[in-house]
Structure 1
Amino acid sequence: METRRLRLLVELARLGSMREVAEEMGLTTSTVSQQLAILARDVGAKLVEPAGRRVRLTPAGQRLAAHGVTILGAVEAARLDLDPGASPVGELRVAGFATAIRRSLLPVQARLAREHPRVRLLIHEHEPAEAYALLDTDDVDLALTYEYNLAPVSFPGRYEARALWTVPWGLAVPAGTTLDRAWGQDWIVNSRNTADEQVARTVASLHGFTPRIAHHCDSLDLVQDLIVAGLGVGLLPAGVHALDGVDVLPLADPAVVLRAYAVNRRGRTAWPPLSLVLRLLDSDRPQAGR
């Protein structure tokens, strides 16, 4: 049914007179009558009946007018939600890797709670490939992802990507292990993203080694635990708080740099909650690792 006709019925229930409805809506009385007749035909029920020189709503008209209040309210809420100039309201679904959630998204959440309490974040922890898949199926609105300078990502045209921050990475080794000795050790790489392994193979090969990939895990804490246990070496952010028994050796020639991004489907940034969160991410750029 046409919402403009439904609004006439709601106004008739409120005002009680077609003449008053016509004056309120800037129409003629005959136009109001015609539009209500079309609405009655559309819904298949008599909505208005004579009451002396006036009209009144039938029981069916009263029930539809009650529904109309809710329907028109929902339509207005949807219009405001999609209005680029409206105050941000709604749930924003974000998929991101763990460090970006901790270092970038949680500070944004704190600001939202203080300044925009009607915007709610729904957070999903995912590696980049998983986050991109969720973007493509519209299961999330925003993805926090990363790439390495030695394993760069080409963003398809369907995405808009914003650089957030970068951080150098080093090679984490058992305490006291030199870089020359580290290349020949077993390696620990990410179990949910092949970029770590690609970087490990590139860096090791440039120093004349083929790395032995022995262990796979996606928790940086667990990577350190495996290193302390003497099970291998792995890539870690240069500024990470290393456990006792772990040294993080700087890498050069080439350096290894992680670059973090905020990614969304192209054409979606006019939606107020997404636009707001992107602005907050851009204004709060911490330095972090994976």
Structure 2
Amino acid sequence: MLDLRRLRLLRELAHRGTLHAVATALNYSPSTVSQQLAQLETEVGVPLLEHVGRRVRLTPQAQILVGHTEHILERLEQARADVAASTEGVTGTVRVAAFPTAAYTLLPAALTRLAGEHPRLRVHLTVAEPEQAVPALLARDFDLVVAEEYPGRPRRYDADVAELLSDPIRLALPAGSDPPPAGQAWVMEPAGTAARDWAVAECRAAGFEPDVRYESSDLLLHVRLVETGHAAAFLPDLVWGGRPPSVPVRPPSAERRIRTVVRRGQAGHPAIRALRQSLAVIPSRSGRSGSAPARSSASATSS
């Protein structure tokens, strides 16, 4: 009989990459993790780890075990969800991760709605970009992630995904700005993010290389730099929180898709359903759902 606790340690190692990271996440010592995995190897009867320099790598047999462990944990989460659905009221704690703009504009109203309808439900919110939040969801650090997806840059989710809204993205220029976008300084999200890759591709499609002088994942800083005349930016409508834009904006260049992501085993949990429903109400109230098709990137940027 294989020990489920040891199987979970192996799965954690597959997600987190190092014994130290597993130990930190689970409040174990690295030596305890190593000993438990060694006992699992004895139970299975084949090597599960290979040493590569100072790190360890899972063997093909370990990957097989991790796949089965994922199915077992998913069924256990489904069992918990079914039990919770059979009881009265929505209780417990939901750990949520949301990218900054969603955390600023969508979550406060959703939390207010939840407090009125499900006062015994506790929500823990962490601001995190999807690049970090989605892997952490699969590692069971979060229960729900609010993620963004830019045109032509789809994310692959090994999870349950629900569409939340379409968020138009507009070119924003400083007030009274004479130079065209090609002559502006720009503020963009950090290099390597989907938002940055999309924005640079938009500029190149319009025939110029953007002069990116400012980098930040905080879109409120982007707004401030445009307001004070220091930079041009691509700003999604969500950043205004339903208020009129404070800077000149042009027609949408494109739309980003905003989705909620949960592990498949938790999709039916009453707490997850309640939170998703509360988030879904917000876009419909602000009139953002069902946005019109986006215009082509080149025409929006060079007009």
What TM-score, normalized to structure 1?
0.62
Structure 1 equivalent of residue 201 of structure 2: 202
CA distance in 2: counterparts of 1:205 and 1:266, whole angstroms: 39
Structure 1 equivalent of residue 103 of structure 2: 101
- Aligned AA (1:231): H
Structure 1 equivalent of residue 173 of structure 2: 173
Q: Shift in Å at residue 259 of structure 1?
A: 1.3
Q: Shift in Å at residue 79 of structure 1?
A: 6.9
| Unpaired segments ≥5 residues, structure 1 | 1-77
CA distance in 2: counterparts of 1:205 and 1:80, whole angstroms: 48
Q: Which of 260, 263, 275 is residue 262 of structure 1 equivalent to?
A: 260
CA distance in 1: counterparts of 2:181 and 2:283, whole angstroms: 33
Question: Residue 226 of structure 2: SS of its match in structure 1?
Answer: helix
Question: Residue 223 of structure 1: SS of its match in structure 2?
Answer: helix
Q: Shift in Å at residue 201 of structure 1?
A: 1.7
- Aligned AA (1:215): Y
1:169-214 C-alpha deviation (Å, 9 max, x unpaired): 1111111236x71123222111386222212222112221122222
Q: Percent identity?
A: 29
Question: Residue 262 of structure 1: SS of its match in structure 2?
Answer: strand
User: Structure 1 residues 132 and 167 mapped into 2: Cα distance closer, same or farther (>3 Å)?
Assistant: same
Aligned: 1:276 with 2:265: no
Q: Please give the root-mean-square deviation of Cα atoms over the aligned residues, in Å.
A: 2.7
User: Structure 1 residues 204 and 266 mapped into 2: Cα distance closer, same or farther (>3 Å)?
Assistant: same
Question: Residue 267 of structure 1: SS of its match in structure 2?
Answer: helix
User: Structure 1 residues 148 and 123 mapped into 2: Cα distance closer, same or farther (>3 Å)?
Assistant: same
The size of the alignment, in residue pairs, is: 204
- The answer to whether the Cα contact below 8 Å between 1:200 and 1:211 also exists between their aligned partners in 2 is no
CA distance in 2: counterparts of 1:220 and 1:274, whole angstroms: 27
What TM-score, normalized to structure 2?
0.60
- The answer to whether the Cα contact below 8 Å between 1:238 and 1:248 also exists between their aligned partners in 2 is no
CA distance in 2: counterparts of 1:247 and 1:81, whole angstroms: 50
- Aligned AA (1:269): A
CA distance in 2: counterparts of 1:222 and 1:211, whole angstroms: 18
- The answer to whether the Cα contact below 8 Å between 1:224 and 1:242 also exists between their aligned partners in 2 is no
- Aligned AA (2:198): V
Structure 1 equivalent of residue 139 of structure 2: 137
CA distance in 2: counterparts of 1:264 and 1:145, whole angstroms: 11
Structure 2 equivalent of residue 182 of structure 1: 181
CA distance in 1: counterparts of 2:177 and 2:80, whole angstroms: 62
User: Structure 1 residues 175 and 194 mapped into 2: Cα distance closer, same or farther (>3 Å)?
Assistant: same
- The answer to whether the Cα contact below 8 Å between 2:149 and 2:256 also exists between their aligned partners in 1 is yes
1:115-152 C-alpha deviation (Å, 9 max, x unpaired): 21111111111111121122022111000011122x43
CA distance in 1: counterparts of 2:182 and 2:281, whole angstroms: 39
Structure 2 equivalent of residue 232 of structure 1: 231
| Unpaired segments ≥5 residues, structure 2 | 1-78, 290-303
Higher alpha-carbon Rg: 1
Question: Residue 125 of structure 2: SS of its match in structure 1?
Answer: strand
CA distance in 1: counterparts of 2:223 and 2:116, whole angstroms: 36
- Aligned AA (1:248): V
Q: Shift in Å at residue 153 of structure 1?
A: 1.9
CA distance in 2: counterparts of 1:279 and 1:171, whole angstroms: 31
Question: Residue 278 of structure 1: SS of its match in structure 2?
Answer: helix
User: Which is richer in helix?
Assistant: 2
